[in-house]
């Protein structure tokens, strides 16, 4: 038999993570993406460092940001399910 425990601290942590994600963290990732695209335009910024940024730095960073956004959305969904399960089981106040 596996142990099932849901403390107030756990519920609070779930709510705080959801608030951080919902409170604009994914929007900030989108804003970073927009600015990265601006800097990737050689008509806006050019030169050896700009070329390096366009060729490797930004593509690698954008891939990491996209992955982070996807994982945050998955986390939000999982936390919603966990919260629902806690409250359905009578663990909510």
Of residues 43 and 1, more confidently modeled: 43
* Cα 90 from Cα 32, distance rounded (Å): 41
Domain extents in the chain: 19-84
Question: How many angstroms separate the CA atoms of 21 and 72, rounded?
Answer: 7
Q: Identify the top-confidence range among 5-9, 19-23, 44-48.
A: 44-48
Place 90 in a pLDDT band, splitting at 50, 70 and 90: low
pLDDT tens digits, 28-75: 999 999 999 999 999 999 999 999 999 999 999 999 999 999 999 899
What string of H, E and C letters represents the secondary structure of 11-64?
A: HHHHHHHHHHHHHHHHHHHHHHHHHHHHHCCCCCCCCHHHHHHHHHHHHHHHHH
Residue whose C-alpha is closest to residue 26's, from 59, 75, 60: 75
Q: Average pLDDT for residues 8-31, to the nearest whole number?
A: 88
């Amino acid at each position: 038999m596996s142990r099932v425990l849901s403390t107030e601290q756990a519920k609070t942590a779930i709510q705080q993570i959801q608030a951080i994600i919902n409170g604009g963290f994914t929007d900030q990732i989108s804003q970073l993406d927009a600015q990265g695209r601006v800097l990737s335009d050689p008509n806006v910024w050019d030169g050896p460092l700009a070329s390096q940024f366009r060729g490797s730095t930004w593509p690698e960073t954008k891939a990491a940001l996209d992955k982070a956004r996807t994982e945050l959305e998955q986390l939000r969904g999982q936390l919603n399910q966990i919260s629902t399960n806690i409250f359905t089981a009578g663990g909510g106040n």
